[in-house]
Amino acid sequence: MFRLSNLIDAVTAGRPERSLDGSIAIWNFTNRCNLACRHCYSYADPNSEDFLSTEFILDAIPELLKAGIRFVIFSGGEPLIRKDIFEIAEAMREAGIVTYLSTNGLYVNEKNVDRIIETFNYIGISIDGIEAVHDAFRGLEGAYRRSLDAIALIQRHGGNAGIRFTLTKETKGSFYDIFDLAEKIGVDKIYISHLVYSGRGLDNLKIDISPEERRKFVEFIIDKAFQYHKEGRKIDVVTGNMEMDAILFLEKFGERYPELRDEMQRRLRNWGGNSAGRKLVNIDWKGNVKPDPFFPFVIGNMTEKPFSEIWLDVENEMLTQLREHPRILLGKCADCSVIDICNGGSRSRAWAIHGDLWAEDPSCYLSRAEIASEEWGVKN
């Protein structure tokens, strides 16, 4: 996750950088869902049954803390389908873990909205285009209106919900509309997620956009972040699953604030790019542990081995390679002068296209000449 607005605001104001003391877990608490989204990586199914019991999940919280997990994103399927989701989230908060909710919004209602706001530090609701596009992409007519109603309900009750948008061939026609919508309804965050080839995303590889198109969209995203900063508009612009955005962002930041470029580059190096297996872990609905939600390999299962032993296993060769920074990769990554910023991007996409975890990310839109340029020169 790359937080453009936060970085612009902090560096230009001279505020000290903030870093998460620990790791982030994306936990898919259920595989049940009321939608059938085209890009879903978990093959969510409305007829599946929850696998992990409430008791098992609550007992696992000390293991999360032992392993250094300080932040849990509640995902699915649709996490609000689980009747025990508030009990789980409240137990985590009491243990000092920050909780985020990722939802389609269809189960947000007058009866639970206050509890949602009180329980979760942040709420992200998926909107993947204007009404017709969103409903087709999400597989349910009326889903768009119900998701917007959920955002409005949260706002009326004193909370705020950000928009999550996945960029694909099917949704790109609504890309600019999403920013207009965010400004109109007054959300505090726009999260643009790039497609990763996993689950239905792998089945629908053909729906991904080209690197050339991606770059144009990313340039717009970056320009919007600078515009919001200049206008004092409190909309946090964030991108996900495309850490190369930070490199293009650094170039544009340096053009606007040349005297602060070195400081921004230092912070981006400290951020470190793709964190799968390093600062990011995924737990799926069956207790399988993976370096990220899209990763093609499982490194252990919580029903068979304590989570801390899986995540802190120093003898796991895959984790060791993922945690090397910057990673040693092939293709144009091998000659990249700024790989310490993006860390090579998605290993899941590399595997899906090249059959090699350590190949270059095929979605990288930066040219070999560009990333090998001495102008990037790593400055200390």
Q: Which two tokens stand for residue 312?
A: 């802190």
Return the closest-CA partner of residue 222 out of 375, 41, 365: 365
- Between CA 8 and CA 139 the distance in angstroms is 37
pLDDT band at 41 (very low <50, low <70, confident <90, very high): very low
Global model pTM greater than 0.85: yes
68 conformational bin, left if phi > 0, alpha if psi -120 to 50, beta if neither:
left
pLDDT in tens, 109-157: 999 999 999 999 999 999 988 888 877 877 778 889 999 999 999 999 9
* Predicted pLDDT at 203: 59
The 3-state DSSP class for residue 269 equals helix
Alpha-carbon torsion angle 349, 355, 356, 357, nearest 10: 40
The arithmetic mean of pLDDT across residues 344-366, rounded, is: 93
pLDDT band at 369 (very low <50, low <70, confident <90, very high): confident
Q: Which two tokens stand for residue 11?
A: 């560096």
- Between CA 91 and CA 241 the distance in angstroms is 29
Query: Among 134-143, 223-232, 251-260, which stretch is predicted with the lowest mean pLDDT?
Result: 134-143
Neighbours of 28 (CB within 10 A): 22
pLDDT band at 170 (very low <50, low <70, confident <90, very high): confident
Alpha-carbon torsion angle 306, 311, 312, 314, nearest 10: 120
* Predicted pLDDT at 72: 98
The arithmetic mean of pLDDT across residues 44-72, rounded, is: 88
Neighbours of 115 (CB within 10 A): 13
The arithmetic mean of pLDDT across residues 290-299, rounded, is: 95
- Between CA 327 and CA 321 the distance in angstroms is 7
Neighbours of 291 (CB within 10 A): 26
* Predicted pLDDT at 204: 55
* DSSP single-letter state for residue 260: G
Neighbours of 180 (CB within 10 A): 11
pLDDT band at 181 (very low <50, low <70, confident <90, very high): very high
- Between CA 108 and CA 90 the distance in angstroms is 17
Could you tell me what percent of the chain has a pLDDT over 90? 77
In terms of DSSP H, where are the helices of the chain? 4-13, 54-66, 85-94, 113-119, 131-138, 143-156, 175-185, 200-203, 211-231, 245-256, 261-271, 307-311, 317-323, 339-342, 347-354, 368-371
Please indicate whether residue 329 or residue 45 has the higher confidence score (pLDDT): 329
Neighbours of 58 (CB within 10 A): 15
The arithmetic mean of pLDDT across residues 95-110, rounded, is: 95
Token pair 């981006």: residue: 268
In sequence order, which residues have a C-beta less than 8 Å from that of residue 339 and are 6 or more positions away?
273, 326, 327, 329, 333, 371
Compute the mean pLDDT over every residue in the chain, rounded to the nearest whole number.
91
Could you tell me what percent of the chain has a pLDDT over 70? 91
Return the closest-CA partner of residue 187 out of 99, 125, 104, 100: 125
The arithmetic mean of pLDDT across residues 268-272, rounded, is: 96
- Between CA 205 and CA 73 the distance in angstroms is 25
* DSSP single-letter state for residue 209: P
* DSSP single-letter state for residue 276: B
* Predicted pLDDT at 43: 47
* Predicted pLDDT at 44: 46
Any idea what the Cα angle at residue 286 is, between residues 21 and 25, rounded to 5°? Answer: 10
pLDDT band at 63 (very low <50, low <70, confident <90, very high): very high
pLDDT in tens, 196-221: 876 544 555 778 899 999 999 999 99
* Predicted pLDDT at 200: 47
- Between CA 239 and CA 271 the distance in angstroms is 14
The arithmetic mean of pLDDT across residues 302-331, rounded, is: 97
* Predicted pLDDT at 50: 77
Query: Among 124-138, 253-267, 275-289, which stretch is predicted with the lowest mean pLDDT?
Result: 124-138
Return the closest-CA partner of residue 366 out of 224, 246, 266: 246
pLDDT band at 356 (very low <50, low <70, confident <90, very high): very high
- Between CA 293 and CA 306 the distance in angstroms is 19
Query: Among 41-50, 116-125, 191-200, 355-364, which stretch is predicted with the lowest mean pLDDT?
Result: 41-50
- Between CA 134 and CA 75 the distance in angstroms is 19
What are 24's strand-pairing partners?
71, 280
In this predicted structure, the answer to whether residue 228 has a pLDDT above a threshold of 90 is yes
- Between CA 104 and CA 80 the distance in angstroms is 9
pLDDT band at 375 (very low <50, low <70, confident <90, very high): low
The arithmetic mean of pLDDT across residues 267-294, rounded, is: 96
